[in-house]
Each structure stands twice: as C-alpha cells, then as structure tokens.
Amino acid sequence: MRQAGYTDAQIIEIVQHVALNTWTHYINEVARTDSDFPVVGLNRAA
C-alpha cells in the first residue's frame, strides 16, 4: 500500500475501518439485530 502512495496514517485508518465493520457485524449477529432496510426483490434478466 505504501508503494501505491498511502501514508502510514492512512493505512492504519483503513485497518481500523475494516476492524470496526467486522466487530459491528459480529455484535449484530450476537444481538440478532433486526434490519430496518426494505426487502428488495430479485428481477429476472430478460
């Protein structure tokens, strides 16, 4: 990532975001949190 131009601070921030999203997912699985997003149906391709 450093070769792509990211700084150490940016790399740490990316890792923190991934860790937070993973942790939040686990907490929601344990708590069995209901999703408040509307259910989207699948459309058949033509």
pLDDT one digit per residue (tens) for the chain, 46 residues:
999 999 999 999 999 999 999 999 999 999 999 888 888 888 887 6
41 assigned to some structural domain: no
Q: Is residue 19 part of a domain?
A: yes
Q: Is residue 43 part of a domain?
A: no
In a domain, 42, yes or no: no
Query: Tokens 């149906």 belong to which residue?
Result: 41
Q: What is the pTM of this model?
A: 0.64
The CA-to-CA distance between both ends of the chain, in Å, stands at 41
Q: Tell me, yes or no, whether 46 lies in a domain.
A: no
How far apart are alpha carbons 44 and 46 in whole angstroms?
A: 6
Q: List the structure tokens of 34.
A: 């209901």
Q: How many domains would you assign to the chain?
A: 1
Does residue 23 lie in a domain region?
yes
Domain coverage including residue 24:
1-33
